[in-house]
Structure 1
Amino acid sequence: MKILNIAALVSALVGSAVAAHAGESISLVLNWTPAADHSPFYYAKAQGWYEKVGIDLNIEVGKGSGVSSLKVGSGAAPFGIADLATMLVARGKGADDVALMSIYANTGQTFYWLKSYGVHGPKDFPGRKIGNPPGDASRVMWPAFAKAVGIPPDSVSFVNVGPTAKTAALKSRTVEIISDFYNSHDLKLREFGDDLGSLNWKDIGLNAYGNSLIANGAFLDKHPKLAENFVRITQKAYAACVADFDPCLKALLDQVTGLDREEQQLQWKRIKYLMADEFTTTQGLGWIDAGRMKKDYELVQTYIGMEKPFPLESAFTSKLLDPSIKMDASKVER
């Protein structure tokens, strides 16, 4: 009997050790397919940083900020990546989303076109076809862009084009304009050269926060320490990748197939520019400023409308960030 009791005890202890080692299974739903801007998650995972605090991270491929905002907001995933203005739109529709860390302190939203198609700027957009996926942040926020440049929101037609097929769709003239993130700018320059035209939303005064780490509000309330650990490890990983991208790129390429090394290196150069502003370089990498958030809320309310207005302070927090970890401005180049 004593032997059986000892055996049962050993079995229980082993089971507990395995569970502690494995950690709690936590999902992160990306905004798009994995690329350089997601590499810090893959790097931290490869280093075992999440595992050390009891998090078994599962990274899910995304289908747009609109989709990730709704998935996290419904509780189907505890964490996600989403364009912050798009998240505010989703929250206005009842999604329980809270922003925890900005990744793109500057908007990455950019429209691209070919001059040879007769497009030279937003005034030439009416009557044209714009290619992007249904959940694309620029499609969600299109009314804001259209009003800002003075064209009717219904003057263009949208064509469903997958994230990896945008350049090919533009080249084949399936569409005449595409939306994409600024971090892919060099890839398009290499493909189209002087024929390429582009406009970043920041250049027309629409500099809403871009991709950000978001969480389900109910999950955040229930697991505050886990959320803090997740945020701080993610923040640490982004800082490490800014300091030296090579190990992060290796982790990304080891875990994700089909990516080109040179393309991801070029993207990371642009991403560092998008990560830096007066707050991320002084208050903490990933810092979300209340003043800027107020402007983003007003932008959504003015141009799109807020179905269910909510207290802005309930939609974001920078309290989980480690203020000692700051964005290194010396690493930024445009």
Structure 2
Amino acid sequence: MKKLIAAASTALLSLAAASASAADVTLMLNWTPTADHAPLYYAKSQGWFKKEGIDLSIESGRGSAATAQRVGSGGSQMGIADLPTAMQARGKGADLTAVMVIYANTPQGFYWLKSSGINGPKDFVGRKIGNPPGDAARLMWPAFAKNAGIDAGSVNFVNLSPQAKVAALKAKSVDIISDFYNEHDLKVREFGNDLGFAPWRSVGLNVYGNSIVVNRAFLDKNKDLVAKFVAVTQRAYDACVKSFDPCLQALMADVSGLSADNQRDQWGRIKMLMRDDTTTKVALGAFDAGRVKADYELVGSLIGIDKAFDPATMFTNDFLDSKVRMTGQ
């Protein structure tokens, strides 16, 4: 009995010591939690971060621009932000870099009702587009407009919360909404054959999407910690690609108001967005230097980067395990 008590005491002391030594890390999401964030909640529920000495707090975001600014200023050590938006923030002085890509393909798209008379992007002229002010689609609109062959100033933007987009389109208080491809199935069910859709890819824009970004000063001082965080995160996304149900359960247990069926539909679309030649052949979450450079040049030429920087410093693949790769299908 004494041996059992001593063993139990030793175990409790070890746990307490591990807890006491765990580093507090805040990860700010791009928006409210949905299926694309499920791997993070799964890894947290399994204690994977804690085991690596990371006491992770996950905070909802208010758009990629807000998250990039927060991480860049050191208000949050890590975050999730659309890469071109993070580049813009970097040009404005935000001290951040990307360590893992989630969306190797842009999830951005525009939705409308065909009954409104809109047949495609050229018919956006004079119309109202509803989205949040910090939305990456609004920041990147000049690039989309140029590729679509219309004047960037020919539309009116209406501020909407992410949750209000579908209702606003249904009520016809806006003509068009921007949204991620993740939610495509939900809109198809809501609007059926009346739904119009133009992904950014349809006008030749396929910039990198949501990525894990880290404050560079924090990274310089905590490379081992960031390496552990990325290793756990890459492992978690790989696990969820192979079997999503445990990840969905973790997300639903921590986040209220979600539909399980909708989140499953989303994850099917997300896996498509995660897959490209680099993530399938180099490593899950890996960036291609050429694509990053092209995105930087696009942002610089069509939107502007206040203070130029070397795009090669905008990302690193150093913390990714090359043995962990995205599935080919």
Asked if these proteins are the same fold (TM beyond 0.5), I'd say yes
1:253 corresponds to 2:252: yes
The answer to whether residue 64 in structure 2 is matched with residue 65 in structure 1 is: yes
* Structure 2 counterpart SS, 1:281: helix
Matches within 5 A, 1:72-91: 72-91=71-90
* Pairing 1:305-324 to 2, within 5 Å after superposition: 305-324=304-323
Instruction: Find out whether 1:113 has 2:112 as its counterpart.
Output: yes
Following TM superposition, by how much is the alpha carbon of 1:311 offset from its aligned partner in structure 2, in angstroms? 1.1
Number of the residue aligned with 1:18: 16
Give the 5 Å matches for 1:94-133.
94-133=93-132
Which residue identity does 2:203 align to in structure 1?
I
Identity %: 58
| Distance in 2 between residues matched to 1:312 and 1:62, nearest whole Å | 25
Segments of structure 1 that go 5 or more residues without pairing to the other structure are 1-12
- In the alignment, is the contact (CA less than 8 A) between 2:79 and 2:214 conserved in 1? yes
**Unpaired stretches in structure 2, ≥5 consecutive residues:** 1-10
Once the two structures are TM-superposed, the CA of residue 152 in structure 1 deviates from its matched residue by 1.0
Q: Which runs of 4+ in 1 moved over 3 A?
A: 13-17
Inter-partner Cα distance in structure 1 for 2:161 and 2:322? 37
Aligned counterpart, 2:4 = none
Alpha-carbon distance between aligned partners in 1 of 2:156 and 2:24, rounded to the nearest angstrom: 41
Determine the structure 1 residue equivalent to 2:287: 288
Quick one: distance in 2 between partners of 1:85 and 1:185? 22
Give, as a single letter, the amino acid of the residue that structure 1 aligns with 2:145: A
How far has the Cα of 1:18 moved from its partner? Answer: 2.4
> 1:3 maps to what in 2?
none
Report the TM-score when normalising by structure 1. Answer: 0.93
The separation in 2 between residues aligned to 1:232 and 1:54, in whole angstroms, is: 13
Give the CA deviation at 1:16: 8.3
1:228 alignment counterpart: 227
Q: 1:52 to 1:196 in 2, by over 3 A?
A: same
Distance 1:313 1:277 in 2: 20
Q: Which amino acid aligns with 1:18?
A: A
Aligned ranges 1:167-206 → 2 under 5 Å? 167-206=166-205
Q: 2:207 maps to which residue?
A: 208
Q: After superposition, give the CA deviation of every residue in 1:284-326 in whole Å (9 maximum; x if it has no partner).
A: 0000010110110011011101110001121110111111100
Match of 1:9 in 2: none
> Is the deviation greater in 261-270 or in 146-155?
146-155
Deviation at 1:134, TM superposition (A): 0.7
- Residue of structure 2 equivalent to 1:8: none
Give the length in aligned residue pairs: 319
Change in Cα spacing, 1:311 to 1:149, as seen in structure 2 (3 Å) is same
Q: Give how far 1:71 is off.
A: 0.5
Residues 228-250 of structure 1: CA distance to partner in whole angstroms, max 9, x if unpaired?
Answer: 10011000000000000000000
The 2-side partners of 1:166 and 1:243 are apart by 31
Q: What's the secondary structure of 1:326's corresponding residue?
A: coil
For residue 280 of structure 2, give the secondary structure of its aligned residue in structure 1. coil
Deviations along 1:95-137, one digit per CA (max 9) or x if unpaired, are: 1110111100000000000011111111111111111111100
**CA distance in 2 between partners of 1:98 and 1:267 (Å):** 27
Q: CA RMSD in A?
A: 1.4
Whichever residue aligns with residue 59 of structure 1, its letter is I
SS in 2 for 1:329: coil
Offset at residue 21 of structure 1 (A) = 2.0
- Maintained 8 Å contact 2:293/2:312: no
Question: Amino acid of the residue matched to residue 227 of structure 1?
Answer: V
Q: In structure 2, what residue type is equivalent to 1:110?
A: G
Name 1:155's counterpart in structure 2.
Answer: 154
Partner secondary structure for residue 58 of structure 2: strand
For 2:206 and 2:140, the matched residues in 1 are separated by 12
- What secondary structure, in the 3-state scheme, does the structure 2 residue paired with 1:279 have? helix
Cα distance between partner residues in 1 of 2:43 and 2:218: 22
Paired AA for residue 85 in structure 1: P
Question: C-alpha distance in 1, partners of 2:173/2:108?
Answer: 21
Q: Provide the rounded CA distance (Å) in 2 between the counterparts of 1:108 and 1:158.
A: 20
1:147-188 CA deviation, whole Å, 9 max, x = no partner?
111111111111111011110010001111000000110110
Partner of 2:8: none
Find the aligned partners of 1:266 and 1:124 in 2 and give their Cα distance: 29
Letter in 2 for 1:21: S
Q: C-alpha offsets along residues 26-46 of structure 1, whole Å, 9 cap, x if unaligned? A: 100000100000000000000
Distance 1:96 1:257 in 2: 33
* Structure 2 counterpart SS, 1:257: coil
CA distance in 2 between counterparts of 1:124 and 1:15 reads: 66
